[in-house]
């Protein structure tokens, strides 16, 4: 079962899914003992498959706040690295947890602080670990987990996670490596399969929904208004052009972005209106698309109810198509006579068709995802032995230097610089050759048949033989350091 299938299956009973992993976020007893375990990559979140927009919008994190969220997450005792992927269809937290059980609990409690109790979150959250978490992100980047299969906007959003994380403490080697690899996967899938052929975006699905809801004879004459001139609004206008519209009103805070749209799109008349004229402009429109980053409602029952009715020629109802998360149009607007409200969850109606074709295209992509997941897993597994490699080399090099100094002291000033260098080079050559075998058996990069279990067995053996104490002490030291730092900050 793919990570995507596990995710969707888990939405039916997410609490059981937590318990399946041995994580009971409601029971302290399950977290009573710190176990010696390797760090885990974990994704915890909710998306359009598991939670309604009413819940997603409460947890949504604006892009500008992603670095701050990473800092807060990495301030938790058992979280070492973090990333946030928050879009209109998902809010997913990716972390490297020093303790899987405690890390999951800490992230869940952190999410609950945004206004949804952990007990309510449980029935909507999904949880994936290590290879399943990696596979899920790769499927997301490839467009397999999107409402619209193969849509390209999600790949841009994954790229933005990497861009936002640059220079941010906590967006570390594991998480950044995984997201960068996900970008590669997204590009490969779109290049080597036909998954993007005929693919639509959330914006195009919104336009398609409007066409479906308008009477057939009036679809190209209905008066259109777009609130917001950002990426989503721009795509809405492009798809309106493709559907035959020649005029659209764009409401935006400033005219600068609208001027840029005019320059780019010559096939449609774009009329600018400032945000202060939003309601007045809506009064003259039949279909209103909203796509802003506003965290407060733009349209409510109070400002929609006074609007004049629309013509029966366009169905007699004013359509509000809200593709923003958080929503720009209040659910209460549906109570207004002659007003109909649709949000991103309603776009499922548009993409429900052609399920068989979607499944076939997804299968093509899964071959690439499986291959890339294996490569990333091998790379990450190789990192597990890095502390042992460093300590073993430091130990041997320390012995080499001590013996070298003892040797030089016996000769006093009788050795020339050239002779000393020759002896030092000899000592380095001997230690490098002696270390070559052990180092080779500590590498697990997927280039040979050596398995991770073989590599870890070799690591444990070297730890015992040379008393390196890196098996679990590294995790323990990190946890103790974070706990101590938290204590100091609260004093």
Cβ atoms of 240 and 264 within 8 Å: the answer is no
- Is the pLDDT assigned to residue 324 strictly greater than 60? yes
- Please check if 199 is assigned to a binding site: no
Residue 476: is its pLDDT beyond 60? no
Ranges of beta strands (E only) in 195-245 are 224-227
355-383 vs 173-192: helix crossing angle, rounded to 10: 140
The annotation status of 491 as a binding-site residue, yes or no, is no
First CA to last CA across the chain, in angstroms?
Answer: 48
203 in Cβ contact with 239 (< 8 Å): yes
What is the SS3 assignment for 11? coil
Beta strand 287-290 with 318-322 is: parallel
Instruction: Give the per-residue pLDDT at 2.
Output: 54
Residue 392 has pLDDT above 90, yes or no: no
Distance in angstroms (rounded) separating the CA atoms of residues 219 and 137: 38
Q: Read off the pLDDT of residues 212-261 as tens digits, 9 standing for 90 and up.
A: 899 877 767 899 999 999 989 999 999 999 888 999 999 999 999 999 99
Backbone angles phi, psi at 380, to 5 degrees: -70, -40
Residue 231 is assigned to a ligand binding site: yes
Q: Domain 202-351: give its CATH superfamily.
A: NAD(P)-binding Rossmann-like Domain (3.40.50.720)
* 476 backbone dihedrals φ, ψ, rounded to 5°: -60, -45
412 annotated among ligand-binding-site residues? no
Length in residues, the chain: 491
Helix-helix angle 3-10:131-142, to 10 degrees: 100
DSSP letters of 352-384? Answer: SS-HHHHHHHHHHHHHHHHHHHHHHHHHHHHHT
Rounded Cα distance, 212 and 226, in Å = 18
pLDDT value at 200 more than 70: no
Say what the pLDDT of residue 14 is: 47
- pLDDT band, very low/low/confident/very high, at 159 (cuts 50, 70, 90): very high
Supply the pLDDT for residue 79: 96
Region 394-422 average pLDDT: 89
Mean pLDDT of 321-348: 93
- Tell me what pLDDT residue 130 has: 93
Residue 132: Cβ within 10 Å count: 20
Q: Is 87 annotated as a binding residue?
A: yes
89 belongs to an annotated ligand binding site:
yes
112 is in an annotated binding site: no
Answer yes or no: is 157 a known binding residue. Answer: yes
Q: With left for phi above 0 and alpha for psi between -120 and 50, is residue 106 left, alpha or beta?
A: alpha
Rounded Cα–Cα distance for residues 9 and 55 (Å): 19
Does 146 have pLDDT greater than 80?
yes
**Per-residue model confidence (pLDDT) at position 480:** 63
Question: Which pLDDT belongs to residue 478?
Answer: 58
151 is in an annotated binding site: yes
- Residue 232 is assigned to a ligand binding site: yes
Q: Is 350 or 265 the better-scoring residue by pLDDT?
A: 265
Task: State residue 464's pLDDT score.
Answer: 80
Least confident of 16-20, 153-157, 405-409: 16-20
Region of 130 on the Ramachandran plot (φ > 0 left; ψ -120 to 50 alpha; else beta): left
Residue-level pLDDT at 467: 77
- Give the CA distances from residue 173 to residues 92, 132, 176, 389, in Å, rounded to whole numbers and listed in that order: 19, 19, 5, 18
356 is in an annotated binding site: no
- pLDDT > 80? residue 398: yes
CB 94 within 8 A of CB 82: yes
pLDDT at 25: 47
CATH 3.30.460.30 is right for the domain spanning 3-198+355-373 = yes
Q: Which residues have a catalytic role annotated?
A: 88
The pLDDT value given to residue 115: 83
Q: Give the model confidence (pLDDT) of 116-139 as tens digits.
A: 888 888 889 999 999 999 999 999
SS3 116: coil
Please say if the pLDDT value at position 11 is more than 50.
no
> Is the torsion defined by CA of 331, 333, 339, 344 positive or negative?
negative
According to the model, what pLDDT value does residue 201 have?
Answer: 76
Buried b (16+ CB within 10 A) or exposed e, 80-96: bbbbbbbbbbbbbbbbb
Per-residue pLDDT, 129: 95
Question: Among 362, 361, 331, 359, which Cα is nearest to 346's?
Answer: 331
């Amino acid at each position: 079962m793919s990570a995507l299938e596990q995710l969707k299956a888990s939405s039916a009973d997410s609490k059981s899914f937590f318990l399946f992993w041995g994580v009971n976020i409601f029971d302290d007893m399950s977290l009573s003992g710190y176990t010696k375990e390797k760090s885990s990559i974990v994704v915890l979140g909710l998306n359009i498959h598991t939670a309604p927009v009413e819940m997603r919008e409460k947890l949504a994190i604006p892009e500008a706040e992603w670095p701050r969220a990473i800092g807060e997450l990495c301030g938790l005792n058992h979280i070492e690295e973090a990333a946030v992927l928050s879009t209109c269809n998902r809010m997913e937290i990716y972390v490297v947890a020093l303790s899987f059980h405690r890390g999951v609990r800490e992230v869940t409690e952190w999410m609950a602080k945004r206004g949804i109790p952990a007990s309510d979150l449980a029935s909507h959250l999904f949880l994936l670990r290590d290879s399943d978490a990696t596979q899920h992100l790769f499927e997301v980047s490839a467009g397999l987990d999107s409402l619209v299969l193969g849509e390209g906007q999600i790949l841009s959003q994954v790229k933005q996670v990497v861009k936002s994380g640059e220079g941010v403490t906590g967006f570390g080697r594991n998480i950044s490596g995984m997201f960068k690899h996900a970008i590669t996967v997204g590009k490969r899938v779109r290049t080597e399969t036909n998954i993007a052929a005929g693919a639509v975006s959330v914006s195009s699905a919104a336009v398609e929904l409007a066409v479906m809801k308008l009477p057939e004879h009036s679809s190209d004459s209905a008066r259109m208004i777009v609130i917001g001139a950002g990426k989503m609004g721009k795509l809405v206008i492009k798809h309106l052009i493709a559907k035959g519209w020649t005029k659209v009103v764009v409401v935006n805070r400033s005219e600068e972005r609208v001027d840029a749209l005019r320059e780019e799109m010559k096939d449609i008349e774009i009329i600018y209106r400032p945000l202060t004229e939003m309601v007045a402009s809506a009064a003259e429109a039949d279909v209103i698309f909203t796509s802003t980053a506003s965290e407060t409602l733009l349209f409510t029952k109070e400002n929609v109810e006074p609007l004049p009715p629309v013509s029966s020629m366009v169905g007699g109802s004013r359509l509000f198509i809200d593709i923003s998360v958080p929503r720009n149009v209040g659910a209460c607007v549906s109570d207004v006579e002659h007003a109909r409200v649709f949000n991103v969850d309603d776009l499922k109606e548009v993409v429900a068709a052609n399920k068989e074709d979607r499944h076939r295209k997804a299968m093509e992509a899964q071959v690439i995802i499986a291959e890339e997941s294996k490569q990333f897993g091998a790379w990450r597994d190789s990192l597990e032995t890095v502390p042992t490699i460093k300590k073993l080399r430091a130990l041997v090099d320390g012995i080499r230097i001590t013996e070298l100094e003892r040797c030089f002291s016996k000769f006093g000033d009788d050795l020339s610089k050239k002779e000393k260098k020759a002896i030092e080079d000899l000592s380095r050559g001997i230690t490098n050759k002696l270390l070559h075998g052990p180092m080779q058996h500590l590498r697990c990069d997927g280039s040979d048949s050596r398995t991770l279990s073989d590599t870890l067995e070799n690591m444990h053996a070297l730890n015992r033989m040379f008393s390196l104490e890196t098996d679990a002490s590294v995790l323990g030291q990190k946890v103790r350091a974070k706990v101590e730092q938290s204590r100091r900050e609260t004093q």
